[in-house]
Structure formats: C-alpha cells, structure tokens
Amino acid sequence: MNLKFVVYVKIETGRISRISIPHHNIDKAGISEDATMRIIHIFEDNIPEGCHDTRYFMDYHWYNSETESFDFIGLSPNRHSVWSSTDGWSWDAEALLQDIVLERNRFLFSSDWTQSLDAPLTEAKLQEWRDYRQALRDLPSTIGNVASVSEVIWPTAPK
C-alpha cells in the first residue's frame, strides 16, 4: 500500500487546507501539534472517487468527521461561502464585508491626491471629490444585500 497524499483538514470546518504529495518528512496521521488540523493519510486504495487530481479533491470535497470520510460537496458558489455538513452552503458575511472594505479603500486611496492643498481643482470640483469620498466612506452601510464585491454599486468618481 503506497501513501499517495497527506491531506490537511481544518478541524473546525472540515475544509481541506492543503494536500501534500509525500516526500521525505511525512507528518503523522492524527491531530496537528497546534490542534487546528486533522492530518489524514490517503493511500492508493482509498482515494475518494475522482480525486487523483488534487485541485479537484480540494475544491469539491470536505472532510466529514462523523463518517471519517470525504464528502463530495460540489464547487463553492463563491469565495465567501462556507460548507457545513449540517447546513450545507452558507455565506461568510464577514469575509464579504472585508473584501468590500478593501475595494472601497482602494478607491479612497486612488483619490487621495484630490485632498492635498495643492490639488489643481476648482472649489466646485474639490467639493465633488469630497462628496464622492464621503459616499465611499458611507459604504458598506449603504450597499444593501449583495452576494459579491462585483454586485456593489460604487459611487461614480467625478470627471
């Protein structure tokens, strides 16, 4: 029986964190030293069906600790989805909010030049930029119900 993969699964969620092809130093099967990962050895004779491709294995399977097996769950609807063996797919609203704030901050950063004392703007244009930047800062409280960053309707920057 040849060891094919070493699979690292997050104990809290069952999500596959990484898959290693064994070489020299192979972590022992069981719980990691920091108690956050379950380390599972996959041998040639117990590879889940269709999981010879490690990318497919990671994207479409999660570990079920009750049955001690890998369940096919399909592809995540988006990167803000979390799988639960009891509830199925759910949203990680906090992760989505963090991504929205990051994108908002990029817009703010790209317009910082408008707020310098020597910006070549008329007072009217400067006020337009202030209003735009305020609308950005008001996000995410004004965005409503979105499922991804691409669904956010961003304020339009002045021309």
pLDDT tens digits, 36-70? 999 999 998 888 887 888 888 988 898 988 888 89
Among 87, 106, 141, the domain-final residue is 87
Q: Does residue 156 fall inside a structural domain?
A: no
Q: What 3-state class would DSSP assign to 31?
A: strand
Residues 117 and 70 placed together within one structural domain of the fold? no
* pLDDT attached to residue 158: 94
Among 87, 106, 121, the domain-final residue is 87
Q: Does residue 157 fall inside a structural domain?
A: no
Q: Does residue 78 fall inside a structural domain?
A: yes
Residues 82 and 118 placed together within one structural domain of the fold? no
Number of H helices, E strands in the chain: 3, 8
pLDDT band at 148 (very low <50, low <70, confident <90, very high): confident
CA distance 132 to 107: 10
Q: pTM of this prediction?
A: 0.60
Q: Does residue 24 fall inside a structural domain?
A: yes
Residues 70 and 27 placed together within one structural domain of the fold? yes
Q: Which residues constitute the domain of residue 61?
A: 3-87
- Please provide the average confidence, as pLDDT, over all residues in the chain: 88
Residues 131 and 76 placed together within one structural domain of the fold? no
Q: For 149-158, what is the mean pLDDT? A: 90
